[in-house]
Amino acid sequence: MNLSTYYRMRAREFGNNLVAIDGDRKTTYNQLEEISNKVANWLKGTGIKPGERGIIYLPNCTEYFYFMYGALKAGIVPIPLNYRFQKEELRYVLKDSGAAAVFTLSQHAAVMSELQKEEGYIQQIVVADGDDKKSGTILLKDIVAEYSGETEIYPALDDDLAMIMYTSGTTGRPKGVRQTHRNNIVSAEGFAYTQRITSTDRFFCIAPLFHVGGTIASLAAILTGGAVVFTPGGWSPTGFLETVEKNKVTWAFLVGLMGAQLATVENLEKYDLSSLHHVAFGGSPIPAAMYAKFESKYKVRTLELYGRTEHVGSSINYDSNDTRVPGSVGKLLTQIMKGKLVDSEGKEVPPGQPGELVVIGDNITPGYWNKPEDTKKLFASDGWQHTGDVFVQDENGYLFFKERVDDMIISGGENIYPGEIIPVLAGHPKVAEAFVLGIPHDDWGQQVAAVIVKKDPSLTEQEVFDYCGSRKDLSGYKKPRVIKFVETMPKNAAMKIDKGALVQLFKK
């Protein structure tokens, strides 16, 4: 069933409730239903056929929902695209996807028009803001004024393509991950179930809507009749606190860096945060020190989760009533998928032993767009998907993320997991942030290298070496041999550390 039919059912039930709060703008379920119908009717009249693709190149905003649900209703496949992509990255995705429509802001109309002329794929460019119609573009305000607010939803089966979401591309070209209608529905339902979301909840959405974290969490909020709260000015710790107070936010999904920044805010007593009952963290492994600082200041339940674009959302998390197990990202969402940890030969490993997570289930992508060879590598012959992520599972089923298989360092024949070293470095009082990777070594194959952001400018390499040397929990072969200091840790738009940029540091 078409994903947008679920939204229509929520609009019938919660029509006058707020679905989106975007600064001072408030939108009800009925209003979103009507405007997305108008977008669908416009698309149907353009000659763009069902199954063709439409890129959404926007920051988080209410208009994102107009275009996403409007496209789905017309049978067009939306592509929520990384809003930090520059012209050549846009060109790559445009050519790879063959997108026929682009939904964007007026400030990007010129570059989209250039790409339209240079590549010839784009048939329509829709501008979400402003009154000035640029050459070759359509204004959303004109669509809203001219088209009917009722439409028939294009029929779709559960396994039909609903969306394409491009990966972050931290180590190479981004890949388009195909997502079915079923993938999105079960992932959102599974998330709503574990987070105990209801129609009275309000979700603080700072995770980008071009990322599965933002899309699925928002969809979970909408499927339960709740509201999504945006912050037009982007992220800031005080902006978050002010938004929680003003809009009575009940839950949020943040990345670890945001939690660390919130832990430094003073005079918390001036904010009324009584509505906020839990915060989920994800995107990358969260240092224990961040949790300690955050939980000492904020009296809310904190949870961690794990997900992938290829899982169309989170596949491991906590029930929102659970007590977080330090270091664990939770348990498998067994209502929608199955998973197990295996060794390099595909044999399941016992509790306490590291193994690669392999999964199968209703939320798992059928593969990549236009990349049959990469799709083939993604799945084993029995249909289980390889995540490339190493975990350890305890006797109670809690999973502890260790590292990416391809991030594992092999030095002198020893397997080294950076996830074991990073918390040690992060525990140094003069270290603000740390990352560990393997770099080439003539004799050992690879050696351990660390990239560090200083908390105290006086920190030296020798202090770090001495600190690691004194640690009883860090074997000699795991200790960093090379250290680079940086002002800030490079991150992509999904707030994940850009490993490709760090690798380049050691090539200079």
Tens-digit pLDDT profile for residues 212-222: 999 999 999 99
Output the pLDDT for position 453. 96
| Domain presence at residue 69 | yes
pLDDT at 429 over 80: yes
Output the pLDDT for position 58. 96
Query: In this structure, are 103 and 8 located in the same domain?
Result: yes
Output the pLDDT for position 183. 97
Query: In this structure, are 328 and 398 located in the same domain?
Result: yes
| Domain presence at residue 379 | no
Output the pLDDT for position 242. 96
Query: In this structure, are 53 and 147 located in the same domain?
Result: yes
pTM equals 0.84
Spatial CA neighbour of 221 closest among 58, 365, 21: 21
Instruction: Tell how far CA 236 is from the center of its chain.
Output: 18
Give the neighbor-by-neighbor strand order of the sheet with 445-454. 431-441, 445-454, 482-486
| Domain presence at residue 372 | no
pLDDT at 403 over 80: no
pLDDT at 420 over 90: no
* Domain count across the chain: 3
Spatial CA neighbour of 66 closest among 99, 112, 34, 88: 34
Dihedral (Cα; 156, 158, 160, 163), 10-degree rounding:
100
Output the pLDDT for position 493. 59
- Over residues 309-342, the pLDDT tens digits come to 999 999 999 998 888 898 899 999 999 999 999 9
Query: In this structure, are 395 and 470 located in the same domain?
Result: no
φ, ψ dihedrals at 22, nearest 5° = -130, 85
pLDDT at 210 over 80: yes
Query: In this structure, are 439 and 399 located in the same domain?
Result: no
Query: In this structure, are 140 and 226 located in the same domain?
Result: no
In our burial notation (b when 16+ CB lie closer than 10 A, e otherwise), range 233-244 reads eeeeeeebbebb
Give the end of a domain, one of 154, 179, 204.
Answer: 179
Q: In the beta sheet, which residues pair with residue 340?
A: 358
In angstroms, how far is the first alpha carbon of the chain from the final one?
52
pLDDT-based confidence at residue 488 (cuts at 50, 70, 90): very high
State the Cα–Cα distance between residues 346 and 379, nearest whole angstrom: 12
Give the neighbor-by-neighbor strand order of the sheet with 399-404. 337-342, 355-361, 385-393, 399-404
Q: Kindly report the CATH number assigned to the domain that includes residue 27.
A: 3.40.50.980
Report yes or no: 306 and 319 within 8 Å, Cβ to Cβ: no
Q: 21-30, 114-123, 348-357 — which is least confidently predicted?
A: 114-123
Query: In this structure, are 103 and 133 located in the same domain?
Result: yes
Report yes or no: 468 and 424 within 8 Å, Cβ to Cβ: yes
Output the pLDDT for position 258. 86
pLDDT-based confidence at residue 413 (cuts at 50, 70, 90): low
pLDDT at 131 over 90: no
Give the end of a domain, one of 404, 437, 463.
Answer: 404
Output the pLDDT for position 410. 77
State the Cα–Cα distance between residues 177 and 318, nearest whole angstrom: 25
pLDDT at 132 over 90: no
pLDDT at 375 over 80: yes
Output the pLDDT for position 160. 98
| Domain presence at residue 450 | yes
Summary mean pLDDT of the chain: 92
Query: In this structure, are 451 and 482 located in the same domain?
Result: yes
Query: In this structure, are 138 and 19 located in the same domain?
Result: yes
State the Cα–Cα distance between residues 191 and 196, nearest whole angstrom: 8
Task: Select, from the ranges 26-30, 234-238, 397-401, the one with the highest average predicted confidence (pLDDT).
Answer: 26-30
Spatial CA neighbour of 212 closest among 310, 82, 312, 279: 312
Query: In this structure, are 146 and 241 located in the same domain?
Result: no
User: 395: which residues sit within 8 A by CB, 6+ positions away?
Assistant: 351, 352
Give the end of a domain, one of 378, 404, 430.
Answer: 404
HEC readout, 447-460: EEEEEEEECCCCCC
Owning domain of residue 112: 3-179
Query: In this structure, are 343 and 233 located in the same domain?
Result: yes
415-423: Cβ within 8 A, 24+ apart: 416/448, 416/477, 416/478, 417/354, 417/390, 418/448, 419/285, 419/390, 420/474, 420/478, 421/448, 421/450, 421/474, 421/478, 421/479, 421/480, 422/285, 422/287, 423/287, 423/288, 423/289
Output the pLDDT for position 135. 66
Query: In this structure, are 8 and 136 located in the same domain?
Result: yes
Average pLDDT for 125-146: 88
Token code pair at residue 317: 């998390």
State the Cα–Cα distance between residues 281 and 220, nearest whole angstrom: 16
Spatial CA neighbour of 79 closest among 201, 203, 240, 215: 215
State the Cα–Cα distance between residues 33 and 150, nearest whole angstrom: 9
Q: Kindly report the CATH number assigned to the domain that includes residue 226.
A: 3.40.50.12780
